[in-house]
Amino acid sequence: MHAEITRRTFLKGAAATGVLAGLGGVTASSFATTSADSGSKNVKQVYNCCPRNCYDTCSVITTVEDGVIKFVTGNPENTYTNGRLCVKGYTYPRRVYSPDRVKYPMKQTAKGSGKWEQITWDEAFEIIGRKIIDIRNEYGNTLGVCLNKYSGNFNVLTYGIEGMMASFGHTTRCQGTPCWPAGIDSQTFDMGTILNSDPESFALSKMIIVWGANPAWCSVHSMHIIQKAKENGCKVVFIDPVMTASASKADEFIEIKTSTDGALALGMCRYILDHNLQDDAWLEANSIGYKDFIDYVNKNITVEWAAEKTGIPAKVIERLAHEYATTQPAAIWIGYGMQRHANGGANVRAIDALAALCGNVGKLGAGANYAQLDSWGFNYAAQVDSPANPDNVASDRFININNFAADLLDINNNTKNPPVKLLWVACRNPMSQDPEAGLVEKAYKSVELVVTVDQFFNKSVEMSDIVLPACTIFETWGLHASYWHYWMNGNEPAIEQMYESKCDVEIAMGLSKKMNSIQPDSCTYISDRTMEEWCAREMSSAFMQKFGFSDWKEIFKKGTVKVKGYDAAWADGKFRTPSGKYEFYSQLAASTGNHLLPVYREALQNNDPVYNIRAMTPHWKYGLHSQFQNLDWMADLHNEPFVEMNPVLAAQKGIQDGDAVKVASSIGHLVLKARVTANVPKDEVVIYEAWYKDNPFNVNYIVKAIPADMGVYATGKPGVSFHDTFVSVEKV
């Protein structure tokens, strides 16, 4: 884009957002003055894309003056994000210019010592490269190199890390996903894959049930679509154990006992069947196994049973079922939080079945909407263009990303050859984000060389031997698509790379070059492409045609482009299941040890007399996992963790608002302040995950690595039950 900005254009954008996100001390009036009087100053706008891998995947317009970022705002060409960013997005310049950034390659004298020394990139590559070569020479392969990577700093080029690993030989990989695997399996069993309707089409719904999602915090741009639907006469219902910020905006909030969502969905199905409200024509034409499902419901489910399980009065269940079955079109949004339970996949299958029973699939403004990956049609060239380096083993070695610490320690403590001697961490922060954080620390200590690529000295960096500085989105090229809406965004450099930071592909190319100088042919990763060339190779002709352009750089005409044809998922009735139809009866589900049908699976039972209070650990509104809360603007708003508890529970424990309390599970404990609120259930507590600068708080010291019921089929490993931790609570 790089279009020169006019004073009128800038002031229009600033007025629309009301936020300046530049360097400290810059105000709207002062910037307007410098812009008007800029004379020969070089002022431009650049398209960027938020890489945090949340629902919204915002297209960003960045204003740069004389090589310095002055302002960021949303791209109005993207009708989903609608020209706005979230509160976190507006802090991006604070991230770029934070004095706390990792600026140079650094080496720590001992893990956790805090004694760092600056080294050069050449020295870093030398240490790492020789370690990899030594491992290969000793064992004939590089299984002793382990990659732990996910999506905390994400665009398609970050897959260069996986490509780099393959170019050494076979390695140990963390497999699976901590985010959404149980739900992916569920919808894969039912419909063949995850595929949601365009969320912008929700504005046409006459009823929306948001089931276990909190978009006001986690997908803020969806809220304007929900509001538009309400203005069009849509009823909006939120189902959640917690009265969230989103639920407070609903026409109706239904408080459900945690992890009993499947019971509610099946109870609604029973009411629908009893009153002949199902869509028989749709079921007959588009599904298999529905008669078996109906037989299961009629024999095993009653509304009264569902009321007892969920804590929702039977009359409320009946009314909700009647409204959902008789309102067309009606959409369900299934959130990720509700599938982070030991029965999470079964709960999603039950909700899918409710939608299918009413024929609310394949219709505009309807659907059982969870996620999609159809807009991800990249070539993954950064991952696969370099040929894999042959060695003496047939495949990579996989460990569970959701039980990373235990699996890695099992290898290293039991001398399973080869042991993991080098751990590479990128795009995630396992020390803050993995369950059983104490065990994660032991796993780090068991590895001879831990290398982390990051932007800040977070908990994982603290336990590393070498940290490599990662550049921000404003310093590199990239392409990114959403797993929720259907827009793809381009990312181009806004400023020169700060300090000595590099992107993942540049690191991969640099390490490859160094390794081959130490030992020829030890690494096959291509080391002489520009970042623009890497971007160009990510788009096939068919993929570009799908989005309506012929050259990858055309995306920078507007910074964002949308794929068409997904207003109503499954509108063609062609499901991607083995039968080609919606499958109530799924052999794939049975093949992974799950039930053929969407049956009820009990919530995880707690029989411990001491640790008998459920603790949920959802996302925090001012952060995304362990990101953003360390920035100064966010710290000014809030810089102290807390535990939310209901007044009833607080009274039982003799706790008042602001008291220090100890929250303990069988594996660890936390001490933090109590916040007493009626918004949380009477018998549960809520602690929001986050990483705070200079604060030892880490909620995952109390969270166990309990597997969810599904996830293996689609992602290789089961999900994790983050919300199935039970604790004791006492006043300190």
pLDDT at 181 over 70: yes
pLDDT given for residue 384 in this prediction:
95
Least reliable range by pLDDT among 27-31, 128-132, 204-208: 27-31
Cα(164)–Cα(142) distance, rounded to whole angstroms? 12
Residue 448 has pLDDT above 90, yes or no: yes
pLDDT tens digits along 196-221: 999 999 999 999 999 999 999 999 99
Look at residue 669 and tell me whether its pLDDT is greater than 60.
yes
The pLDDT value recorded for residue 32 is 31
Res 275 pLDDT > 60: yes
Query: Is the distance from CB of 51 to CB of 57 less than 8 angstroms?
Result: no
Does residue 338 carry a pLDDT above 50? yes
Q: How far is CA 515 from the centre of its chain?
A: 33
The pLDDT score that the predictor gives to residue 567 is 97
The stretch 284-301 carries a mean pLDDT of 98
**3-state secondary structure at position 641:** coil
* pLDDT score for 61: 98
Nearest to 624 by CA among 689, 571, 573, 678: 689
Residue 346 structure tokens: 């079964």
User: Within 10 Å of residue 85's Cβ, how many Cβ atoms?
Assistant: 25
Token pair of 541 as six digits: 């002709």
Instruction: Give the separation between CA 21 and CA 94, rounded to whole angstroms.
Output: 7
- For position 416, what pLDDT does the model report? 76
Report how far residue 66's alpha carbon sits from residue 39's, in angstroms, rounded to the nearest whole number.
12
Average pLDDT over residues 650-662: 98
Q: What is the 3-state secondary structure (H, E, C) of 584-615?
A: CCCHHHHHCCCCCCCCCCCCCCCCCCCCCEEE
pLDDT at 39: 58
Query: Is pLDDT above 80 for 391?
Result: yes
Q: What is the dihedral of CA 648, 653, 654, 660, to 10 degrees?
A: -110
Q: Which residue has the tokens 């969407």?
A: 598
> CA separation (Å) from 429 to 452, 461, 595?
9, 8, 35
Cis-peptide into 329, omega within 30 deg: yes
